[in-house]
């Protein structure tokens, strides 16, 4: 069966592209909830309702494994979905959040041993307002890594600037947000771009961050983790192409998506 990839809009395409490169034969179904984007300024209840609705749409399209390629939905809705919403059987929902924590702390998600020294002292997280407010990132980091200081910053306005293709505004916002974070954490060891839109402006973050800060690439990390997951759970593999769905206006979404995908694809309305 195809693997479902869900995002509030177009940001998840950065994850999808990386998945397509890592797993070139795999069939995918992408769904962007462009009619309701952005999620980053919504409360957790709203994000849960919208996310479950879209994941159900992907289940109805035959996907049994769905990747939530949205940090906001992963941080504020995924845990509740896994505990109280998922039906019995083989349907699974994974998020983009867990592989980042595993990569940074070098510990498996299921490892519930007390926090250890991981060598990590200062980590910067750039994300949407909802993701930062969920506090999921610092909570899960501290659960595994002793002595780690996680400083998060909500990059207001950046998702809209990226979606509108305004490079100058995106650059100004990245500089402003990085500088605000650096005033609280002058020398981060590592920086996490905790929003699936941000890889589009990764070079701007790299230029604004101090030299030596390790910038984690979420699309590559998620693709590697998915490939590992499929080795352990081959039932979710299926050879095929990618189908693209949106809850929004097909023509407009198609035009905007070209910037994320580097090519025109055929979008269908759900």
Expressed in angstroms, the distance from the first to the final Cα of the chain is: 19
The least CB distance from residue 152 to ligand DGL, in Å, is 12
The least CB distance from residue 200 to ligand DGL, in Å, is 11
- Minimum CB distance to ligand DGL smaller for 57 or for 131: 131
Active site residue 195: yes
- Does residue number 195 form part of the binding site for ligand DGL (CB under 6 A)? yes
CB-based burial of residue 43 (10 Å sphere; 0-12 exposed, 13-18 middle, 19+ buried)?
exposed
Residue nearest to ligand DGL (CB): 40
- Does residue number 246 form part of the binding site for ligand DGL (CB under 6 A)? no
- Does residue number 48 form part of the binding site for ligand DGL (CB under 6 A)? no
What values do phi and psi take at 239, rounded to 5?
-80, 135
Q: How far is CA 207 from CA 2, 87, 126, 140, 167, in A?
A: 38, 45, 15, 28, 14
Render 155-205 in DSSP notation, one character per residue: -TTHHHHHHTT-HHHHHHHHHHHHHHHHTT-SS-SEEEE-STTGGGGHHHH
Render 36-96 in DSSP notation, one character per residue: T---TTS-HHHHHHHHHHHHHHHHHTT-SEEEE--HHHHHHTHHHHHHHTSPSSS-EEEES
The least CB distance from residue 163 to ligand DGL, in Å, is 8
The least CB distance from residue 62 to ligand DGL, in Å, is 24
Using the rule CB under 6 A, which residue among 131, 170, 213, 246 binds ligand DGL? 131
- Does residue number 70 form part of the binding site for ligand DGL (CB under 6 A)? yes
How long, in residues, is the chain? 270
CB 221 within 8 A of CB 103: yes
Using the rule CB under 6 A, which residue among 34, 54, 170, 196 binds ligand DGL? 196
Task: Quote the distance between the C-alpha of residue 220 and its chain's center.
Answer: 11
Q: Is 8 left (phi over 0), alpha (psi -120 to 50) or beta?
A: alpha
Which region among 64-72, 107-115, 137-145, 237-245 touches ligand DGL (by CB under 6 A)? 64-72
- Minimum CB distance to ligand DGL smaller for 8 or for 26: 8
- Does residue number 72 form part of the binding site for ligand DGL (CB under 6 A)? yes
Which is the catalytic residue, given 70, 77, 159, 182?
A: 70
CB 113 within 8 A of CB 119: no
Using the rule CB under 6 A, which residue among 20, 26, 37, 51 binds ligand DGL? 37
- Does residue number 77 form part of the binding site for ligand DGL (CB under 6 A)? no
Using the rule CB under 6 A, which residue among 159, 162, 190, 222 binds ligand DGL? 159
- Minimum CB distance to ligand DGL smaller for 5 or for 65: 5
- Residue pointed to by tokens 């081959």: 234
Using the rule CB under 6 A, which residue among 5, 7, 148, 256 binds ligand DGL? 7
Task: Catalog residues that contact ligand DGL under the rule CB under 6 A.
Answer: 7-9, 11, 37-40, 70-72, 128, 131, 159, 195-197
Active site residues: 70, 195
């Amino acid at each position: 069966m195809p693997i479902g990839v869900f995002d509030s809009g177009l940001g998840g395409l950065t994850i999808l592209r990386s998945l397509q490169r890592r797993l070139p034969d795999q069939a995918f179904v992408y769904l962007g909830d462009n009619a309701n984007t952005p999620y980053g300024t919504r409360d957790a209840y709203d994000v849960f309702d919208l996310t479950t609705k879209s994941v159900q749409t992907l289940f109805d399209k035959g996907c049994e494994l769905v990747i939530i390629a949205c940090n906001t939905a992963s941080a504020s809705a995924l845990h509740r979905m896994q505990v109280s919403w998922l039906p019995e059987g083989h349907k699974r929902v994974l998020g983009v959040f867990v592989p980042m924590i595993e990569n940074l702390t070098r510990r498996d998600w299921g490892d519930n041993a007390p926090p250890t020294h991981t060598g990590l002292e200062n980590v910067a997280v750039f994300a949407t307002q909802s993701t930062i407010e969920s506090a999921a990132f610092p909570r899960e980091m501290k659960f595994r890594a002793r002595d780690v200081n996680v400083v998060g910053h909500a990059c207001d306005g950046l998702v809209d600037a990226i979606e509108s293709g305004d490079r100058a505004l995106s650059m100004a916002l990245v500089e402003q947000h990085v500088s605000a974070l650096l005033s609280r954490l002058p020398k981060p060891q590592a920086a996490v771009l905790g929003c699936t839109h941000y890889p589009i402006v990764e070079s701007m973050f790299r230029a604004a961050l101090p030299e030596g800060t390790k910038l984690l690439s979420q699309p590559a990390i998620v693709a590697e983790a998915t490939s590992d997951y499929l080795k352990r759970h081959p039932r979710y593999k299926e050879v095929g192409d990618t189908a693209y769905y949106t809850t929004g206006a097909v023509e407009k979404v198609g035009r905007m998506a070209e910037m994320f995908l580097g090519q025109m694809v055929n979008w269908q309305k759900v």
